[in-house]
């Protein structure tokens, strides 16, 4: 397992899965910019919205890669 995947797995998942309740009509996924429907994920700490678990996982992985790149640069 490479380091970005390991960092994602070690990080605690802190989100709420919301079903049957739409947020504001003008809400979009922070990763893919899809319109948020009746089911979505909301990250508890940041209140960011994701259209599904794949976008949430992608965001976590990209954040881990950014941290690795920053650590290597310094």
Domain extent for 45: 3-73
Number of domains in the chain: 1
Residue 11: pLDDT band with limits 50, 70, 90: low
DSSP element (H, E) containing 20: none
Residue 66: CB atoms within 10 Å = 11
Indicate if the pLDDT at residue 2 is higher than 70: no
Task: Enter the DSSP assignment of 11.
Answer: S
The whole-number average pLDDT for the span 22-41 is 89
What is the pTM (predicted TM-score) of this model? 0.68
């Amino acid at each position: 397992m490479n380091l970005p995947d390991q960092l994602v797995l070690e990080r605690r998942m802190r989100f709420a899965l919301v079903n049957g309740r739409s947020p504001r009509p003008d809400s979009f996924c922070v990763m893919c910019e899809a319109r948020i429907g009746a089911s979505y994920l909301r990250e508890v700490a940041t209140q960011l919205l994701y259209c599904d678990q794949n976008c949430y996982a992608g965001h976590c992985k990209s954040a881990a890669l950014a941290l690795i790149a920053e650590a290597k640069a310094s």
